[in-house]
Structure 1
């Protein structure tokens, strides 16, 4: 649970902020009749529900291994992250698009645009606060990598999901503000509906990106190359290892890795000596990389390993 304390801080901040913002936006939409504001309210409400789902995913993923799930429940977080992406697309983007088209076909002037401007301004402040919390947490883990690269490499979707949702929310607020202002200045109520469609497109793009990343994690992504290289170096340094052929890893959670090693033991070793060597390797590897929660060592010649790798086209 401690490994996810930063993630939970980000989600709690987003959950509280989005809930308050959603209520305010719905109130403003009911008072002014703005289509863009209604879409923004739906957006914030969906983000609130998504935060709750991510917390649920973290809770489920933290359960220990059992008979039916011998490697643990870490992938539950990846499953719920994928559900979040689906909800952003189906509810957030879908409802916003429908509302925008309806308003374009039957445009109505906004009754009191000043109320919308005030709500949008306050929303930008609140969203900016939760976005800053998510960005700070994400920076801790991204290192020197670029933001897009860091998202693609990240194995913890809870942080980057909130960051991307908050980024989309801020961009949506800008679009809503521009649409309402343009509709007022140009006396073209249809632009309010156009802004709502614009918000739906932002949400759809965010959902597609999140779904793609969550899908990769759910299907199984390998550990970072530097972790694999470090493990192979540890193995190769052992006195009883002739050659460390290679390693196959897969994340079953943000901080849970299953690793399978292919090694060639020295010919002089007896069965008890091989067993002692494997235990020694397990201690050394898990000491340096505690996120490797399951380790399997397979005695294998270099030729056999190369043949297997070729068949897998890895």
Structure 2
């Protein structure tokens, strides 16, 4: 069974909604942060502007990868998600830390922080909306009793969990920036602001490492989870034409696209038409119980053994 026609269908609407929401939020926020940073000289606001600008570019990369190879080339999405993780590390984290260190050496004078707070509050609203969209997408596939982080670890849709991790980092970054500006004003100390910029950079590096870990596993070929694999073994065990199941190997090709290579032993001496019927029953059962498995291959040695 190799349902490539189904795999080449329209882009996933849920993932597209998550990406569009993130782009709309980050684009306007980045512009506002840079304008206020230029007015107030806040290093933390510069770091936040860099953060939002990088996030916007990241989501555009995810959209490019998703549209160019929506299903049949699902691993391209994982590749672009890995590029996103690298860009968060090199551009977002690196530039924020560099700017913070430079500002520590010559901290800008304290200015009226009102517009900083206004922009950060607006950013929190938009980032919160984008975060909630990605959270809902994760909740739709989250197993009962599991946390959101466990849902991220289990998710195979890089466009969703990438936006969720980025937005989580963005909300934490906003809190750090606001705290740095407020503490600087309260104590009359200009060093809190650039210190916040460095903390935001460290936060982005942490987010990049988390993204890199998740997307790296998917890119090199992650299997389906243990519960799904156990259910798959139970499905094969019900087929009366099989003597044994040596191994069932799976690979995640895309968010909803799994390859299965089955090493099984059919009963010896079965007529070819009975072997074909057994394969048809297995394919139908897999399609009904595991719709994400779109490519099923039986090892040739198992077929040859059945015919001798």
Q: TM-score, normalised by structure 1?
A: 0.89
Alignment partner of 2:53 out of 28, 45, 48 = 45
Corresponding residue SS for 2:224: coil
Tell me the equivalent position of 1:88.
88
4+ runs deviating over 4 angstroms? none
Corresponding residue SS for 1:243: strand
Tell me the equivalent position of 2:118.
118
Tell me the equivalent position of 1:106.
106
- Per-residue CA deviations over 1:158-183 (Å, capped at 9, x if unaligned) read 11111111110011011101111111
Alignment partner of 1:23 out of 17, 31, 43 = 31
Query: Residue 60 of structure 1 contacts residue 77 of structure 1 at CA under 8 Å; is this kept in 2?
Result: no
- Per-residue CA deviations over 1:211-251 (Å, capped at 9, x if unaligned) read 01110000010012232222222222222112233310010
Query: Residue 138 of structure 2 contacts residue 152 of structure 2 at CA under 8 Å; is this kept in 1?
Result: no
Structure 1 residue 130 corresponds to structure 2 residue 130:
yes
Range 123-132 or range 249-258, more displaced: 123-132
Shift of 1:278: 1.8
Query: Residue 54 of structure 2 contacts residue 92 of structure 2 at CA under 8 Å; is this kept in 1?
Result: yes
Tell me the equivalent position of 1:282.
283
Query: Residue 249 of structure 2 contacts residue 261 of structure 2 at CA under 8 Å; is this kept in 1?
Result: yes
Shift of 1:54: 0.9
Tell me the equivalent position of 1:12.
20
Shift of 1:131: 1.1
Find the aligned partners of 2:285 and 2:129 in 1 and give their Cα distance: 42
Shift of 1:300: 6.0
Tell me the equivalent position of 1:189.
190
Shift of 1:3: 6.6
Write out aligned runs for 1:203-218 (5 A).
Answer: 203-218=204-219
Shift of 1:299: 6.1
Corresponding residue SS for 2:12: helix
- Per-residue CA deviations over 1:109-167 (Å, capped at 9, x if unaligned) read 13331111111111111111111111111111112222222222211111111111111
What is the total number of aligned residue pairs between the two structures? 293
Query: Residue 26 of structure 2 contacts residue 53 of structure 2 at CA under 8 Å; is this kept in 1?
Result: yes
Find the aligned partners of 1:140 and 1:275 in 2 and give their Cα distance: 37
Query: Residue 134 of structure 1 contacts residue 163 of structure 1 at CA under 8 Å; is this kept in 2?
Result: yes
Range 269-278 or range 209-218, more displaced: 269-278
Find the aligned partners of 1:250 and 1:113 in 2 and give their Cα distance: 52
Find the aligned partners of 1:148 and 1:101 in 2 and give their Cα distance: 32
Shift of 1:294: 1.0
Find the aligned partners of 1:41 and 1:115 in 2 and give their Cα distance: 14
Q: Which has the higher contact order (CA 8 A, sep 6+)?
A: 2
Tell me the equivalent position of 1:59.
67
Corresponding residue SS for 1:242: strand
5+ residue gaps, structure 1: 64-71, 302-314
5+ residue gaps, structure 2: 1-8, 303-308
Tell me the equivalent position of 1:161.
162
Q: TM-score, normalised by structure 2?
A: 0.91
